Amino acid sequence: MKVLIINGPNLNLLGRREPGIYGSQTMDAALDACHRIADIEYFQSNHEGALIDKLHQVGFSKDYAGIVLNAGAYTHTSLALADAIAAIELPVVEVHISNVHAREEIRHRSLISGVCRGVIAGFGLNSYRLGVEALICG
């Protein structure tokens, strides 16, 4: 069984982007840890529609245990992404590198949490591995 990890906008800059918040490691480090425990497919896009297309494409497949999604700032703004998650059959785990609840108030609201299986936030790049574990263990 595969797990799809999806990263949204600006997460292609991990390692260079605001290292005080997101750390100085690239996504490759997180993916290495995930590859050790599951068969991982990875997709990143800065475009809302591309993220939705990917959810539609994989979301009814029997080959995946689920999807780990860091929607970046779209977490806080995108009803379209929430609708896409609600529409598909696979479970989606919402993950964040930072503890969004310890940050600006606008980041406390997630439009997608209510349609996700669960939420993991604040564990740095380990959040991705924890998300994968949540899907393959339960």
Q: Which residues bind ligand DQA (CB under 6 A)?
A: 10, 70, 72-73, 75, 96-98, 100, 107
Residues marked as catalytic: 22, 96
State in angstroms the smallest separation of the CB of 21 from ligand DQA: 7
State in angstroms the smallest separation of the CB of 62 from ligand DQA: 29
State in angstroms the smallest separation of the CB of 83 from ligand DQA: 19
Closest CB to ligand DQA among residues 60, 79: 79
- Note whether 9 and 46 are within 8 A (CB): yes
- Note whether 95 and 70 are within 8 A (CB): yes
Residue 3's SS3 state is strand
Closest CB to ligand DQA among residues 2, 107: 107
